[in-house]
Structure 1
Amino acid sequence: MTIFNLGSINADLFYALPHMPSPGETIAAASLERGLGGKGANMSVAAARAASRVVHMGAVGANGGWAVERLLEYGVDTRHIVQVEADTGHAIILVDQAGENTIIIHHGANHAIPEDLLGRALSESETGDTLLFQNETLLQPEAAAMARKLGMRVAYAAAPFDAEAARALLPLTDLLVLNEIEMEQLKSASGQDLREMAVPTVIVTEGAAGGRLHRVETGWEAERFSSPEVKAVDTTGAGDTFTGYLVAGLDRGMPLRQAVALASQAAALMVTRHGTADVIPDLRDVQDARFG
């Protein structure tokens, strides 16, 4: 099976800070590093490193060739990444000494993906393949509608949260992944509870506390799952790692709870590392990890 990911590709610029700046404060960074990122690229790398076949659908500018090459190195099929006139997307990531982060995103080429790319890429899909997307690109409703007609499973990571996008996409979604803050934002924006949203499977992550899953066969009652206890140094990309591993596990036929457990372990290992796509653990790293 194959995961087709309609996703962002960013240059991530990491600034290590002693603390997050207050309004009006000027603060010196201890270091600056550039890496591959974007929620889409992170999820593609995570799913590929979790042993799934991943086709990335996206765009970069003339200055983004290095990002495409790096995705290819990490095992992602890059044939459906196109070059557009807009600059490659980028993110400014501030990380404090506790590992917490603040992120500023410039969409750039991620909002210039041509619509005809969807048809070219998804024409290669088979029934039972997965379409994955986030909220850092456009064309999600078009892609989801196309995927449904092709018999694909639709997985939606509703981040960064966008109320209009969520309302349009919930009826087309089979698997919804979001954190607890985004879940509350979604309930407020939609005026619906989980039963009214009627998404078959919903995963709500809660950081170090683990999270909960809700599924139609249990009436969307919360089922708790835990996260391994680790010392976090950088939480950037942990949610993307979780989603990529989760979708890959399901793509490979794992039962939901087993896929969630694998994803939780991968995310826990991720927060012990500085960086985003470039440091996402591979499957052997996760399987060999010793927690607690």
Structure 2
Amino acid sequence: MSDVTIFAPSPTLTVTVEEHGGEPDIHLHAGGQGVWQARMLLRLGASVTMCCSLTGEIGRMLRHLLEDEGFTVVGVDRPGKGSAYVHDRRGGERRIIAETEGEPLARHDLDELYGVALREGLASGIAILSGPAGDETLPADTYRRLSADLRKGGATVVADLAGKRLAAALEGGVDVLKVSHEELADDGLTTDDTAEQLLRAMRELRRRGAGVVIVSRSSEPLLMLDGEGFVEVAAPRMEVADTRGAGDSLTAGVAAGIARGEPVREAIVTGAAAGALNVTRHGLGTGDPEAIALLRESVAVREIVDDSAAGVDQSVTGHVSPDGLAALADPEEER
């Protein structure tokens, strides 16, 4: 039994071409949202089970890569074309050579994947619901059913989703929801990125079924809403090598803290530090755990006044140490 189970419907085989010593340097890895989350969880000392579909020859390669990284892989093996991409980064920016989202899950494959995800999620007690490689991989309603069934069985559900999959998971109910401010705008929940708009959207998401709502804002401090109200969490701004995967590292850090028994207001500090460190690296979902632990000490947390016009400038400002964060949380709101 692992500490955390990740529902990752379609991991991606990634081939990246870089340059080293004037020669092409080719890297082959497993990738995708769930993989990046799993990778950071492992760095933070949590064991991980990945529930995923493994399609065709790409799937066979992915299984070996995932197991070599130390994940427990519970996969549905099926024929067909899997998710993969080839990127050329020798010029400093990613240039797409080829990409495929893979084929949608057939009904029987989806039933099998659902069953193993439910079983492993209940065994772990904590499950992260992550998105697929393509919109057509599986029906969005899968997330409603899975979140509802996991919570009925006593598991804590962490969702990192957007669009129809986000709406479906909310209908089923989630304990912790992470979403970006861009995704809120894309879903029509905000018309701009002002604090007033974001806080209003967060209240709406909590009303619709999220126990805790976390909104990332690129390089700006993230926002969180729980049963006690709003907080703003500011991590140090690091020099950026690659921003991709930072949000997934944030989600993983929060899940790792919850797996250790931390209140969400303490776990969010680890998440913020993990996300901040991830941008300094080209490897997505990676980071030195000792560096993350040190960065935690530089994460500033402040409460925000909860009223209809609340903005960042109305906050009650102050640095709260990780040891003092638990006192801010309502234990009955942690689930």
- TM-score bracket, normalised by the shorter chain, equals 0.7 to 0.9
Contact 1:157-1:243 within 8 A present in 2 as well: yes
Output the amino acid matched with 1:247.
Answer: A
Give the superposition deviation at 1:96: 9.7
Q: Which residue of 2 aligns with 1:203?
A: 214
Q: Which residue of 2 aligns with 1:26?
A: none
Q: Which residue of 1 aligns with 2:195?
A: none
Output the amino acid matched with 2:150.
Answer: A
Q: 1:261 to 1:197 in 2, by over 3 A?
A: same
Separation (CA, whole Å) in 2 of partners of 1:180 and 1:96: 31
Separation (CA, whole Å) in 2 of partners of 1:285 and 1:86: 41
Q: Which residue of 2 aligns with 1:165?
A: 165
Output the amino acid matched with 2:118.
Answer: L
Q: 1:154 to 1:195 in 2, by over 3 A?
A: closer
Output the amino acid matched with 1:10.
Answer: T
Give the superposition deviation at 1:204: 0.4
1:64 aligns with 2:59: yes
- The alignment partner of 1:64 has SS state of helix
Report how many residues are paired: 270
Moved more, 108-117 or 35-44: 108-117
Separation (CA, whole Å) in 2 of partners of 1:155 and 1:5: 9
Give the superposition deviation at 1:34: 3.5
Q: Which residue of 2 aligns with 1:142?
A: 145
Give the superposition deviation at 1:16: 6.7
Contact 1:5-1:133 within 8 A present in 2 as well: yes
| Greater RCO (CA < 8 Å, at least 6 residues apart) | 1
Q: Which residue of 1 aligns with 2:225?
A: 214
Separation (CA, whole Å) in 1 of partners of 2:40 and 2:72: 13
Q: 1:81 to 1:180 in 2, by over 3 A?
A: same
- The alignment partner of 2:270 has SS state of helix
Per-residue CA deviation, residues 51-106 of structure 1 (Å, 9 max, x unaligned), is 2222110012223333222322333111x113211222124557698879999963
Separation (CA, whole Å) in 2 of partners of 1:95 and 1:177: 29
Q: 1:245 to 1:99 in 2, by over 3 A?
A: farther
Output the amino acid matched with 1:214.
Answer: L
Q: 1:198 to 1:142 in 2, by over 3 A?
A: closer
Structure 2: gaps (5+ residues): 191-200, 300-335
- The alignment partner of 2:251 has SS state of helix
Contact 1:59-1:109 within 8 A present in 2 as well: no
Q: TM-score, normalised by structure 1?
A: 0.78
Contact 1:130-1:152 within 8 A present in 2 as well: yes
Find 1:239's aligned residue among 224, 235, 247.
247
- The alignment partner of 1:273 has SS state of coil
Q: Which residue of 1 aligns with 2:46?
A: 52
Contact 2:11-2:32 within 8 A present in 1 as well: yes
1:248 aligns with 2:256: yes
Q: Which residue of 2 aligns with 1:223?
A: 231
Q: TM-score, normalised by structure 2?
A: 0.69
Moved more, 245-254 or 45-54: 45-54
Q: 1:16 to 1:178 in 2, by over 3 A?
A: farther
Q: Which residue of 1 aligns with 2:287?
A: 281
Separation (CA, whole Å) in 1 of partners of 2:233 and 2:154: 30
Percent identity between the aligned chains? 22
Give the superposition deviation at 1:110: 7.0
Separation (CA, whole Å) in 2 of partners of 1:210 and 1:99: 26
Matches within 5 A, 1:1-292: 2-7=3-8, 8-14=10-16, 33-61=27-55, 62-78=57-73, 80-91=74-85, 106-108=100-102, 111=105, 113-126=109-122, 129-136=125-132, 138=138, 139-158=142-161, 161-162=162-163, 164-171=164-171, 172-188=173-189, 193-218=204-229, 222-277=230-285, 280-287=286-293
Separation (CA, whole Å) in 1 of partners of 2:266 and 2:95: 29
Separation (CA, whole Å) in 1 of partners of 2:52 and 2:218: 28
Separation (CA, whole Å) in 2 of partners of 1:244 and 1:84: 28
Give the superposition deviation at 1:49: 2.1
CA root-mean-square deviation: 3.4
Output the amino acid matched with 1:45.
Answer: R
Give the superposition deviation at 1:114: 2.9
Q: 1:275 to 1:53 in 2, by over 3 A?
A: closer
Separation (CA, whole Å) in 2 of partners of 1:134 and 1:186: 17
